[in-house]
A and B are shown apart, each in its own frame.
Chain A
Amino acid sequence: MTVYLDHAATTPLDPGVLAAMRPYLEAEFGNPSSLHAFGRAARQGVEAAREQVADALDVAPLEVLFTSGGTESDNQAVKGIAWAARDAGRGRHLVTTAIEHHAVLDSCRWLAGSAGFELSVVPPQPDGVVDPERLLAAVRADTVLVSVMAANNELGTVQPLGVVGPALRERGVALHTDAVQAFGRAPLDVDGWGIGALALSAHKFNGPKGVGVLVLRRELPAVPVLHGGGQERGLRSGTFNAAGIVGCGAAAALTAETMATQIPRLRALRDRLLGALLGVGGVTLNGSATARLPHNANVAVRGCDGEALLLALDAAGVAASTGSACQSGAAEPSHVLAAVGAPADRAHLRFTCGRTTTEHDVDAAAAAFTDCVKRLRDAGGGFL
């Protein structure tokens, strides 16, 4: 029995997506930048995928850049926009939040630490949602970029972009958002919210690993991080990963088409799971119950160590998550949980449902969780 409830880490490749990719791994091997027939055939796949992504986000195809993943998209957006603003003499101040993915947080810190920028990091409220007033209060006359994630990867908390975005647009400050977790699971209104840049990662929505999207609105100047052949408006050099990009397009189309039915389905599964988890004594929900992605259940478990509980669940065939892993593979304490003041003396476990999750899966996971927590507590919790 194996139950996969770690869709925030990655999702299985959809069979239809794989089928769309396959020709570009076989017959259509051409370099999409080549002028001959082989190149044109591959280029068609890339451009069709660009349109699929553009449609899914309601932006222009020209504004969709393909990258190697969410991390690259975030790096390119944060560094590229910051550098361009600095070069134009518009200022050197950045604003972000304490619960960003490290791709954003560490890019901002790097700019502040070694490239002459100043950084304001806004803490979240205890429910894992950033207060828009507090965020906007951090913006100064010389602020050139605000980066706020659309939804948090660990807590699943949805951030108030609908409030923050228009206010920033009024003040002429660029907004980048890491939408890696939110895409397909919560509404994203790029135009309406005044989003200047937005990052996606294909493998988080049943596409392949190694492909990301950076939406960069045409009016927002950016300097490239990678130099080379000048692909993607000169902002992302490197031979197109044609098969991956085609898979990303197919997955984006699938996600957009099925979002209206998937969101309530995921919410029902998650609520069923969460109800069972919270039924075990000493288990509480981390993060807002309402401003939350529909697939995410993140719980604190008293009297258990997180890593020990994760291992016990793994042995029982249930895949969940706690924190992130360092280079050697050890679990590291989560900066997100620290930022919301989650107590360190207990387990914090994240379960995330996905397209392939069934009621049977969540029931089996809940049963295993109940059993593992009891066993672990009886034996002292497994703290190191």
Chain B
Amino acid sequence: MARVLVAMSGGVDSSMAAALLVDEGHDVTGVHLKMADTPSGLPGKGCCTLDDARDARRVADTLGIPFYVWDLAEAFRERVVDDFVAEYASGRTPNPCVRCNERVKYAALLARARAVGFDALATGHHVRLRRAVQPGGGGRWRLLRAADPAKDQTYVLYMATQDQLAHTLWPVGEHAKPALRAMAAERGLLTANKPDSHDICFIPSGDLGAFLRPRLGAREGVFVGPDGAEVGRHDGSYRFTVGQRRGLGLAGADRPLYVTAIDGDRVHVGTRAALEVGGLIADRVSWIAGAPPDTAPVAAFAGAAPPDTTRVAAQVRYRGRPLPAVLADAGGGRVRVTFPQDRPEGVAPGQAVVFYDRDECLGGGTIVTAES
């Protein structure tokens, strides 16, 4: 039995995380993280609202566990939302869930949980955790894709470290989502039929442009066609993401046009074929094992001279398909990822590239540029 703190968002996954840990006999405490400043008297919609705090509290009551609300709004704003806005302002497409896990949940929250005397932190993420068997014990922790592949969230947890994994529990990743809902209903948890959240939690309306416009203002610029000519105007490049087709407002084009690159206020557009890239450069690369993989099926990499190559499967977006990739040291802490077989479409700087060996998440980095 361990003393476990469960981050309870008020959704069914984290509700079941708490329930499953109670079943396993742990000493469980729930905590709801207040991530946004909700104006009093105006309960909002989406994550981190009063409704969700209440739902989480009532689930904790049903499970008979202590429950607290911790205000992380300031840390969340500074470390996630401000970064999100700044990244869009720079023409990149950030992943706020990655930042939140890296800088809030598995940083400030885990540190406090341990300081207060908890052995582990649990969340409702759909991932699985295993410990490699090693003679004499002490094997390294491995992060595996969820039992329910449609719900897998390893993509937003690639930056986890061995120390974090040693103090984390992810019980729901062992179960398929329909089974979790059924278990929640059986227990009478009021979150059993709550819809899944898809939006960015601090933009419950889903309208990215409406969120960014008051923060970044109008920044007029031009669309640049495949031949380098101006094909239209826009009111702010931050509204666009590489790979985007809808909402460009480019009527009259004879073929569907996609955003292929964002360069300051210049938004490059092209055909779908132009979205394909042969490789990319990533920085801020981290490895779950603590070091690049050095055993079969991958070869030595990084730091080794001469720079050899590593073969992995690389995934360039949250719900993307992992593609065979070769990694090589690009110098300055950067990694060059090339795709010798299938080529990904719409590689957006700012998003994560995450590396896998079959079901195991090996690590990842932040996409800096695409390479043709």
- Shortest CB-to-CB span from A22 to chain B, Å, is 28
Q: How far is the CB of A332 from chain B (nearest CB, A)?
A: 8
Contacts of A307 in B (CB 8 A): 68, 70
Given that A312-B117, A314-B66, A384-B72 are known contacts, is A328 also in contact with B112, CB under 8 Å in the complex? Answer: no
Q: Which of A328, A375, A381 is the one whose CB lies under 8 Å from B117?
A: A375
Q: Which bucket holds chain B's interface residue count? A: 20 to 34
Q: Which residue of A lies closest to B31 (CB)?
A: A311
Does B109 lie at the interface of the complex (its beta carbon under 8 Å from any beta carbon of A)?
yes
Say yes or no: A384 contacts B34, CB within 8 Å: no
Is B108 interfacial (CB-CB < 8 Å)?
yes
Residues of B within 8 A of A308 (CB): 112, 115-116
Residue from B53, B75, B112, B116 in contact with A329 in the complex, judged by beta carbons closer than 8 Å: B53
Quick check: B69 and A329 within 8 Å, CB to CB?
A: yes
For the complex, give the distance between the alpha carbons of A329 and B53 in Å: 8
Question: Could you say which residues of chain A place their CB within 8 Å of the CB of B111?
Answer: 380, 382
Is B57 part of the binding interface, using a Cβ–Cβ cutoff of 8 Å? yes
Q: Does A63 contact B (CB under 8 A)?
A: no
Bound form: Cα–Cα A260–B364 in Å? 70
Residues of B within 8 A of A375 (CB): 117
Q: How far is the CB of A368 from chain B (nearest CB, A)?
A: 12
Known: A327-B40, A328-B53. A379 touches B115 (CB 8 A): yes
The residue in chain A whose Cβ has the minimal distance to the Cβ of B49 is A328
**Within the complex, what minimum Cβ distance (angstroms) separates A121 from chain B?**
20
A328 in contact with B38 (CB, 8 Å): yes
CA distance A369 to B254 in the complex (A): 74
A330 touches which one: B70, B108, B114 (CB < 8 A)?
B70
**Contact at A331–B71, with CB atoms within 8 Å?**
yes
Contacts of B53 in A (CB 8 A): 328-329
Least CB separation from A329: chain B residue: B69
Chain A 155-208 residues near chain B, CB threshold 8 A: none
Nearest chain A CB to B17 CB, angstrom units: 19
Q: Given A328-B34, A328-B50, A328-B53 in contact, is the A384-B109 Cβ separation under 8 Å?
A: yes
CB of A110 closer than 8 Å to a CB of B: no
For B14-55 the 0/1 string (1 means CB < 8 A from A) is: 000000000000000100101000101000000000100100
What separation, in Å, do the CA atoms of A330 and B67 have in the docked complex?
A: 11
Q: Which of B32, B75, B112, B114 contacts A305 (CB 8 A)?
A: B112
Residue in B closest to A327 when the chains form the complex, CB atoms: B50
A315 CA / B116 CA spacing, docked (Å): 10
Is A29 engaged at the interface, CB distance under 8 Å to the other chain?
Answer: no
- CB neighbours (8 Å) of B40 from chain A are 326-327
B111 to chain A: closest residue by CB: A380
B70 touches A384 (CB 8 A): yes
Chain A residues with CB under 8 A of B72: 384
Q: Which residues of B contact A384 (CB under 8 A)?
A: 70-72, 75, 108-109, 112
Count of chain A residues with a beta carbon within 8 Å of a chain B beta carbon: 23
In the complex, what residues of A have CB within 8 A of residue B66's CB? 314-315
A residues less than 8 Å from B50 (CB atoms):
327-328
Residues of chain A from 368 to 384 with CB closer than 8 A to chain B in the complex: 375-376, 379-384
Write the nearest CB–CB distance from B70 to chain A, whole angstroms: 6
CB-defined contacts of B71 to chain A, threshold 8 Å: 326, 330-332, 384
Min Cβ gap B74→A in Å is: 9
Q: Which residue of B lies closest to A316 (CB)?
A: B117
Complex interface: chain A residues within 8 A of B70 (CB): 307, 330, 384
Please tell me if the beta carbons of A380 and B115 are within 8 angstroms of each other in the complex. yes
- What residues on B are CB-neighbors of A381 within 8 Å? 115
Q: Known contacts being A376-B115, A379-B114, is A328 close to B32, with CB within 8 Å?
A: yes
A286-320 contacts to B (CB < 8 Å):
305, 307-308, 311-312, 314-315
Q: Are A382 and B116 touching (Cβ within 8 A)?
A: yes
B183 to chain A, nearest CB (A): 26
Min CB–CB distance A237 → chain B (angstroms): 24
- How many angstroms between the C-alpha atoms of A325 and B50 in the bound complex? 13
Bound CA span A345–B66, Å: 26
The complex places the Cα of A329 from the Cα of B30 at a distance, in Å, of 13
* Interface hub of B69, B72, B116 (most chain A Cβ within 10 A): B116
**Distance to closest chain B CB from A28 (angstroms):** 34
| Complex Cα spacing A188 to B34, Å | 41
Residues of A310-360 whose CB lies within 8 A of B: 311-312, 314-315, 325-332
Shortest A321–chain B CB gap in Å is: 14
For the complex, give the distance between the alpha carbons of A307 and B115 in Å. 12
Cα–Cα, bound, A305→B53 (Å)? 22
Report the bound CA distance from A379 to B110 in whole Å. Answer: 12
List chain B residues, Cβ under 8 A from A327.
38, 40, 50
The answer to whether A329 touches B57 (Cβ under 8 A) is: yes
Cβ contacts under 8 Å, A314 to chain B: 66
**Chain B, 69-90, CB within 8 A of any chain A CB:** 69-72, 75
Name the CB-closest residue of B to A314. Answer: B66
Kindly report which residue of chain A lies nearest to residue B33, judged by CB atoms. A330
Chain B residues with CB under 8 A of A330:
34, 69-71
In the complex, A4 Cα to B38 Cα: how many Å?
32
> Which chain B residue lies CB-closest to A331?
B71
Give the shortest distance, in Å, between A345 (CB) and chain B (any CB).
14
CB distance from A93 to the nearest CB of B (A): 27
Q: Could you tell me if A328 and B109 are in contact, using CB atoms closer than 8 angstroms?
A: no
Given contacts A328-B50, A330-B69, A384-B72, contact A311 B116 (CB under 8 A): yes
- Docked Cα-Cα span, A315 to B29, in Å, equals 10
Alpha-carbon distance between A350 and B112 when the two chains are bound, in angstroms: 21
B14 CB, nearest partner CB in chain A, Å:
16
How far is it, in angstroms, between the C-alpha of A331 and the C-alpha of B107 when the chains are bound?
20
Q: Give the shortest distance, in Å, between B79 (CB) and chain A (any CB).
A: 11
The verdict on A311 contacting B115 (CB below 8 Å), with A328-B50, A384-B108 known, is no
**Residue of chain A at shortest CB distance from B57:** A329
B residues 97-118 near A (Cβ < 8 Å) are: 108-109, 111-112, 114-117
- Taking CB as reference atom, which chain B residue is nearest A311? B116
CA distance A305 to B70 in the complex (A): 12
- A328-B34, A332-B71, A376-B116 given; name 6 further pairs at CB < 8 Å: A315-B66, A328-B32, A330-B71, A375-B117, A379-B117, A384-B109
| A binding-site residues for B, Cβ under 8 Å | 305, 307-308, 311-312, 314-315, 325-332, 375-376, 379-384
Residue pairs across A and B with Cβ atoms less than 8 A apart, 5 shown, are A327-B50, A329-B57, A331-B71, A383-B112, A384-B112
